[in-house]
Structure formats: structure tokens, C-alpha cells
């Protein structure tokens, strides 16, 4: 149960004065909450950090006011110049001090309101951006107009928050002020010596400094208030991960050990020798499976490094132990690709493999499910369809979840629950190399196996960046390549014409390329029906078409060794990791492959950096580190899209050294006080609730 002392901050934002249903909807947008997220709470407002400040401390006389700069002026109101009749001219209030005059300018003004706010002959303090208009100075729509005796109402250093259209800054600030007043005094959960060493204040004090900054330094990433709160968030994250990891290790599991007979048959059926990394990863997985606790291991491997074969060998171990395995992929295309890779090897070893997707219906599906429940199917491969309610396994012991960050928490848990009370051994795989900092923030001490080499015989991919205004040259080169028997992927970012983005969609590019290459061109995208997609992919796979125009539906899982060229149109609009994934669709055979990054001028600095990195290296782990630096962790792991745990206060990688410290601190805390029963332990429980790590337990248990 949540401690009662925290009840005020877990109240909904609607409990605050001035926050009704309309404002709540706007707050959701400003707080970047998904539509199905919980209603904004007082706590969410407290964690909504300003991104900068407006400095109103510049208080010149009128003659010294600088155009383009925010100034706070003490003025006397001289006269009101209201526009005549229905004129659209602005309403101007002429003001002065002993050094000069300035006009306060209002568009679509309420004359009665302005006459009340700015009575002629009275002294007022106004603050806003000064502009030059001809030879005169003016201040359009001052941010503040206050009587001299109420100047304390106007903040000299005003925080600037991420906003959304329709939400008034005054409404937001008023709601945050009320939220701060509801924050109780809480016992300190940080180590006293650590706080003194860092020069940090308390949790409440730091929040007040963030929302009521005395200078821009209070909001900087190096400022004490921001670092203190970032460390709180990181410690909550690391502590929750460590607690759940320990509870999983202590949970009753099963020991899954094989005799090596089936794995030997698979190894002898392989047309290549395993790499050193593949052998090492398989041994690590095998050792985990044989242990008594529940296995949860991440298999990281760059594009084309051979993760699927390692997963198959582990599934064979489960079969040697008279158990079943399941492999879940995020898309039908990827599930079918896994089936295509695994099925011939499994058959050679005497294993029964089946494929189940959302498209399978009727008698065929029922027969397959009966065979699965009877134990006649050894390995089931599929999409989310494999954990639906009517899918029952005789003895599921081993689960592989591919590109796991694309699945929701409940999907992953539902599949693991198919293993019954003993649970299942779980291997999660990703072709997105994950930097160590992100591994720590999203997985904690999860065991990790890495595949560092590519299979023998693979040649480096030549990568070039070419401006779109040289499109004709590119098409001539592709024509020559097609004549020599090459196959080509052409990737576009969108399917249909967009009113927002001025970019060529896949369907338009498909029509354009057919004018050049005729019926050798095919189109595939995510909005097509499954059967259509399969037929297009089959034709391309078997060489019946030469150019496949596609959206990012081909990002993972498509394996056509004869495809040696990939053109990525508007490459500047893709993230580094996604560009790397797409490039990995070629270079899968022994022939030289190339990647053409088509970009639109002019290139921004970040886009230029991305394309330069792609030209320089194929090292997925180096690319992932650069992607983290350029974009932040949530984008790389898909957290922004999937709604999974991301950070409000701790920007990764800016707080990398604090993450390392939080990781070590969490381990030390649990070694000394595993039940969090000491005074500090009880305070740390409050910390976990304040950063929603009570709800995150489900997420972490699901891997």
C-alpha cells in the first residue's frame, strides 16, 4: 500500500483550483502523456521541469531599453489611442518616463479592460520584449502590467515550461504553485555524506528551486537542484530493477538441460561454422537454462550476426529436455523470416516447427493448436497470436522474444505465463545494439550476451550520401546494376502523400520508378494485406522483380542475399539506428553491396552528423553510442512510442556518471537492507512511489 503521507501528491490535477476537464486534456498534451495514460496528477506537475527562464531583472529607463530584449519598465500612462470604428489597427497606449516615450501595443484589444489596467496619469510597471517601430520604441502585449505597490507579484526570473496550444502559462504556473504547497516534508532517502559531497539540498528544496529558479543556473544540467532530482530518479530506477531482478532469481524455476543430441544434428546441418561469439553466447544461455532460477538473458547482435541460429540451438536444448519452445516476433514479415531460417534446420534435426500469425483461421488453426497442446509441435514461431487465450502448450519451457522493445509489458507477461507455475526460461533478442548506459537504465543487471562478429565471407557495405538533385545519375547507375543481375531495395519514409512533410511517398516513387524500369519494380508497405505483402516479398526473393520500393516494413527480418543495393530516400529523416538496420538488408551474401543515402538540401547539423557516421562505420555498437548522443535513449529503444519507462529529469547520456553511482548505490542498499526496513529503507520506499516504480514492477518482471 502506498504510504498515506504521499496521498496529497497522488491526487488528480483536477483537485487543484482552476483545473477542470478542458485544462486536464491540455495538461496531458503538455506533459506528453499518451491518450490511455492515467489522468495527470499533482505529482506529474511537480516533475514537469522548465526548459529555461525569462529574465525580467533588466530594469532600464526607456532611453536605455534595447530593441529585441526583455525589459521591465516603470512608466506613467499618458493617453490611450483606440483604433476608429471597425478598424483592424492596434490599440496603442502611450507611456513615458523622464527619459522618453514608449507605446504599449495591443491587437484585437478590449478597450474597457485596458483602461482599467492602465488608467491615464497612473504609474505602472510593465515587462515584455521591446521593439523598434520606425523611430519609436514599442512593447507589443506586455507579459505583465502591475501597480508599483504590487511589483512583488511579478517574478524577475520566470521559468519557461514545455507547453501546448490552448494552455495558458499562468494556469500552468498556478497549478504547479499549488502542487508545491501539497508536497509533504519527507524523510531523506539519500546518504548524508553523499549529499554533502555533491553539495545538494533536499528533495523539496530542489523542486522549489527548479520551479522558482533564482537564476538560469538553477535549471542547468550541471546545477545542484537538477542533478539532485536526476539522481533521485536514477536511483529509483536502479533500485526497482535490482529488487525485481533479485525476486526473479529467488522465484522457483526449472532446470532445463539437454543431452546434446539434437544440437549436434543442427550444427552438422549448418552450411557454416559458428563464430566465436555465437559459440560463447550459446554456452552462456545453456548454463542459464541448466540453473535452478528463472533465466532472463538479452542476446544483442548486430544486423546479420546470427542471433536466430543461437536461439534455435537453445530451443533444441529445451526439446532435448522434453519441453517446447516459442519464438515471438513483432511483425508477420519477421515471424515468417524466422520460420524460413529455422524450419529446414529443425527438420534436419527431427524437430516439428509451426508458424502461427493473426491470419491463421479456421480448421487449419484448430488442428495446429491441438497438435501444440498434445506436444507434437516442438517449436512455435509467430506474432502476438502465439500467446492468445486459446493457445495452450503441453510443456512450454523456453521463450524467445525478438525485438522485445516493440512489445507491451502485458504481451510479454502473457507469453511467459503459458509456462505455468514453473515459469519459462526467457531469452530476449535485439538487432539494435544498445549502449551500456541504456542497458543499465532499462535492464539493470540483466545478463547480456553479445554477438560481435559477422559470418565469414561477408564483405563491407560501401555507403555514399547523395543529394536528391542528382537523382537522374543514381537512376542511371541502378539501371546498369539491374542489367548485371542486381536486386535493389528503395526505402521511402511514408506511404501516401503528406500535407505536412514535403517528401516523396512510397506510392509516388513506385510509379516514378516503373517509368524507368517497367514491371521489374514492386511495392510493399505496412498498409497492404498480409497475403499481398507475402506475394510481393516472394517474387522479390525469387528474383522475379528487381526493385522493391518499400517503407520501413523491411527494416528487420527480410533476407534476400541477391539484393546488393539499398537506396534510402530522405535519409536525413531517419534515426541512426534505423539507418543501420535498413542498411543491414544488403551485404548478406558474398557479393559487394552498397547503400545510397539520398538526402534533401539543406542538411541540418544533426542530420549531417548522422550521414557522416553512416559513411564512416558499420559498427552497430559505435553507431548506437552516437545515436544515443544525438537523440537520447527513449528514441533508440522505442520508449517514446511504446509508452515504456522514460525519464522526466535524468537525460541520458548527460547524467552518465550519476547513473553509474546510482547503480552501485542500489546494490549496496540491497546488500545491507534487502527488505528496505531500516529508516533509510522506509524513506527509499517513498522514493520508489514518487517515481512510479511500484507500477513499473510489471514492466521489469516482463524483461
Give the pLDDT of residue 330: 85
355, 361, 358: which is closest to 377 by C-alpha?
Answer: 355
Give the pLDDT of residue 587: 84
Stated length of the chain: 703
Q: Worst-scoring range by mean pLDDT, 159-168, 229-238, 575-584?
A: 575-584
Stretch 540-557: mean pLDDT = 80
**pTM score over 0.75:** no
Give the pLDDT of residue 693: 83
Give the pLDDT of residue 412: 62
C-alpha distance across the termini of the chain, in Å: 24
Give the pLDDT of residue 562: 85
Residue 504 reports pLDDT greater than 70: no
Query: How is residue 293 written as a grid cell?
Result: 532460477
Give the pLDDT of residue 584: 84
Q: CA separation (Å) from 111 to 83, 94, 241, 315?
A: 10, 14, 60, 78
Residues 321-342 have pLDDT tens digits of 999 999 999 888 788 889 988 9
Give the pLDDT of residue 653: 62
Report whether 113 contacts 52 (CB < 8 A).
Answer: no
Give the pLDDT of residue 87: 85
d(CA 138, CA 120): 18
| % of the chain with per-residue pLDDT over 70 | 90
Report whether 121 contacts 76 (CB < 8 A).
Answer: yes
Residue 697 reports pLDDT greater than 70: no
* Mean of the per-residue pLDDT values of the chain: 87
Stretch 289-305: mean pLDDT = 84
Residue 641 reports pLDDT greater than 50: no
Edge-first strand order for the sheet with 379-382 is: 353-356, 379-382, 324-328, 396-402, 425-430, 296-301, 447-451
Instruction: Give me the domains of the chain, ranges plus CATH numbers.
Output: 4-54+161-184 (no CATH), 57-154 (2.40.50.140), 261-451 (3.40.50.300), 461-617 (3.40.50.300)
Q: Are strands 396-402 and 324-328 parallel, antiparallel or unpaired?
A: parallel
Enclosing H/E stretch for 112: helix 111-117
Stretch 591-598: mean pLDDT = 93
Report whether 461 contacts 587 (CB < 8 A).
Answer: yes
Residues 196-218 have pLDDT tens digits of 999 999 999 999 999 999 888 88
Residues 645-668 have pLDDT tens digits of 467 777 666 678 898 899 999 999
Residues 123-153 have pLDDT tens digits of 999 999 999 999 999 999 999 999 999 998 8
Instruction: Give residue 695's pLDDT band: very low, low, confident or very high (50, 70, 90).
Output: low
Residues 61-106 have pLDDT tens digits of 999 999 999 999 999 999 999 998 888 899 999 999 999 999 999 9
d(CA 634, CA 493): 20
Amino acid at each position: 500500500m502506498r504510504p498515506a503521507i504521499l496521498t496529497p501528491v497522488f491526487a488528480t490535477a483536477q483537485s487543484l483550483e482552476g483545473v477542470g476537464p478542458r485544462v486536464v486534456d491540455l495538461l496531458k498534451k503538455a506533459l506528453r502523456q499518451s491518450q490511455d495514460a492515467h489522468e495527470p496528477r499533482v505529482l506529474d506537475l511537480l516533475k514537469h521541469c522548465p526548459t529555461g527562464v525569462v529574465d525580467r531583472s533588466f530594469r532600464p529607463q526607456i532611453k536605455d531599453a534595447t530593441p529585441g530584449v526583455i525589459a521591465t519598465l516603470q512608466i506613467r500612462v499618458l493617453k490611450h489611442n483606440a483604433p476608429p470604428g471597425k478598424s483592424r489597427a492596434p490599440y496603442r497606449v502611450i507611456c513615458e518616463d523622464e527619459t522618453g516615450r514608449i507605446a504599449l501595443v495591443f491587437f484585437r484589444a478590449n478597450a474597457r479592460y485596458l483602461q482599467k489596467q492602465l488608467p491615464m496619469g497612473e504609474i505602472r510597471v510593465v515587462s515584455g520584449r521591446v521593439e523598434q517601430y520606425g523611430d519609436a520604441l514599442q512593447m507589443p502585449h506586455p507579459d505583465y502590467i502591475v501597480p508599483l505597490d504590487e511589483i512583488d507579484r511579478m517574478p524577475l526570473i520566470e521559468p519557461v515550461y514545455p507547453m501546448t496550444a490552448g494552455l495558458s502559462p499562468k494556469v500552468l504556473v498556478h497549478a504547479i504553485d499549488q502542487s508545491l504547497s501539497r508536497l509533504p516534508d519527507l524523510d531523506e532517502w539519500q546518504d548524508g555524506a553523499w549529499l554533502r559531497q555533491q553539495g545538494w539540498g533536499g528533495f523539496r528544496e530542489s523542486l522549489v528551486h527548479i520551479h522558482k529558479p533564482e537564476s538560469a543556473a538553477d535549471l542547468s544540467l550541471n546545477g545542484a537542484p537538477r542533478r539532485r532530482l536526476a539522481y533521485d530518479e536514477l536511483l529509483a530506477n536502479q533500485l526497482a530493477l535490482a529488487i525485481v531482478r533479485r525476486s526473479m532469481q529467488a522465484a522457483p524455476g526449472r532446470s532445463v538441460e539437454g543431452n546434446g543430441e539434437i544440437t549436434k544434428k543442427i550444427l552438422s546441418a549448418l552450411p557454416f561454422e559458428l563464430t566465436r561469439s555465437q559459440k560463447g553466447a550459446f554456452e552462456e544461455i545453456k548454463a542459464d537454462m541448466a540453473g535452478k532460477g528463472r533465466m532472463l538473458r538479452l542476446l544483442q547482435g548486430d544486423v546479420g550476426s546470427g542471433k536466430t541460429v543461437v536461439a534455435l540451438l537453445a530451443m533444441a536444448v529445451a526439446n532435448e529436455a522434453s519441453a517446447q519452445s516459442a519464438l515471438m516476433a513483432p511483425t508477420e514479415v519477421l515471424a515468417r523470416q524466422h520460420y524460413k531460417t529455422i524450419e529446414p534446420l529443425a527438420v534436419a534435426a527431427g524437430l516439428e516447427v509451426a508458424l502461427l500469425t493473426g491470419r491463421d483461421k479456421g480448421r487449419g488453426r484448430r488442428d495446429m493448436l491441438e497438435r501444440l497442446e498434445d506436444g507434437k509441435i516442438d517449436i512455435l514461431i509467430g506474432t502476438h497470436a502465439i500467446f492468445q487465450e486459446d493457445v495452450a502448450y503441453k510443456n512450454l519451457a523456453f521463450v524467445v522474444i525478438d525485438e522485445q522493445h516493440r512489445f507491451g509489458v502485458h504481451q510479454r507477461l502473457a507469453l511467459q505465463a503459458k509456462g505455468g507455475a514453473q515459469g519459462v526460461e526467457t531469452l530476449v533478442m535485439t538487432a539494435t545494439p544498445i549502449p551500456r548506459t541504456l542497458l543499465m537504465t532499462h535492464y539493470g543487471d540483466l545478463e547480456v550476451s553479445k554477438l560481435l562478429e559477422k559470418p565469414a565471407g561477408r564483405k563491407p557495405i560501401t555507403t555514399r550520401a547523395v543529394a536528391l538533385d542528382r537523382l537522374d545519375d543514381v537512376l542511371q547507375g541502378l539501371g546498369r546494376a539491374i542489367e548485371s543481375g542486381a536486386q535493389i531495395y528503395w526505402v521511402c519514409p511514408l506511404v501516401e502523400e503528406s500535407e505536412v512533410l514535403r517528401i516523396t511517398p512510397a506510392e509516388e516513387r513506385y510509379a516514378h520508378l516503373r517509368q524507368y524500369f517497367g514491371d521489374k519494380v514492386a511495392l510493399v508497405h505496412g498498409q497492404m494485406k498480409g497475403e499481398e505483402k507475402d506475394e510481393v516479398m516472394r517474387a522479390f526473393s525469387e528474383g522475379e522483380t528487381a526493385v522493391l520500393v518499400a517503407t520501413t516494413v523491411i527494416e528487420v527480418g527480410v533476407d534476400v542475399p541477391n539484393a546488393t543495393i539499398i537506396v534510402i530516400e530522405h535519409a536525413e529523416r531517419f534515426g541512426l539506428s534505423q539507418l543501420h538496420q535498413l542498411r543491414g538488408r544488403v551485404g548478406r551474401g558474398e557479393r559487394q553491396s552498397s547503400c545510397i543515402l539520398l538526402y534533401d538540401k539543406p542538411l541540418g547539423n544533426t542530420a549531417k552528423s548522422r550521414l557522416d557516421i553512416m559513411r564512416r562505420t558499420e559498427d552497430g555498437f559505435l553507431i548506437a553510442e552516437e545515436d544515443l548522443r544525438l537523440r537520447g535513449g527513449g528514441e533508440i529503444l522505442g520508449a517514446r512510442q511504446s509508452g515504456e519507462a522514460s525519464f522526466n529529469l535524468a537525460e541520458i547520456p548527460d547524467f552518465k556518471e550519476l547513473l553509474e553511482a546510482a547503480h552501485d548505490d542500489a546494490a549496496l542498499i540491497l546488500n545491507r537492507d534487502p527488505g528496505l526496513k531500516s529508516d533509510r529503507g522506509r524513506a527509499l520506499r517513498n522514493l520508489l512511489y514518487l517515481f512510479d516504480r511500484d507500477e513499473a514492477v510489471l514492466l521489469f518482471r516482463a524483461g
